Structure 1
């Protein structure tokens, strides 16, 4: 199952710099682990914002929820999830035969 996920990060401006650095480092390690596993095949930064859009390839809604809720930055995020379906006009899809 593919999902388009937008994540907007809202860290408190007065967060301790060491705490921030730790959270960001753990976030990077976890996200790269998911990328290597094929669960997070695409991630794109949104220019001018502390936000990203990503594609997740997971087995279920519950799996996606578990992955997102384990993100170290999760408590500081606004997340919008959009389920994706194959488009019949895409070359190579069942709809072009």
Structure 2
């Protein structure tokens, strides 16, 4: 199943900078691992914001929830999830 996930990140000011740097490094490693597995199909930065638009390809809602809630930056994210279906006019 395909999902469009919009993620906005809001890390509180004053949070320990070493802790934030580790969270970001862990987030990057997790995102790259999920991309290599084929589950995180697309990852696009939203220009001018600490945000991204991503496409996930997972088995079901529960798997998506487990992936998203397991992201290191999850406690600082607001997400919007939209299930996707093939469009009849799409080529390929």
**1:86: how far off?**
0.5
Shift of 1:6: 0.2
Whether 1:82 aligns to 2:82 is: yes
- Is 1:45 the counterpart of 2:45? The answer is yes
Q: Which stretches of structure 1, 4 residues or longer, exceed 2 Å deviation after superposition?
A: none
Where does structure 1 lack aligned partners over 5 or more consecutive residues?
A: 93-97
What do you get for the CA RMSD once the two structures are aligned? 0.6
Which has the higher Rg, Structure 1 or Structure 2?
1
* TM-score for both structures, normalised by structure 1: 0.93
> Secondary structure in 1 aligned to 2:40?
coil
Count residues with an aligned counterpart.
92
TM-score (norm 2): 0.98
Which residue number in structure 2 is paired with residue 25 of structure 1?
25
- Looking at both structures, which has the greater relative contact order when contacts are Cα pairs under 8 Å and sequence separation is at least 6? 2
Runs of 5+ consecutive residues of structure 2 not aligned to the other structure: none
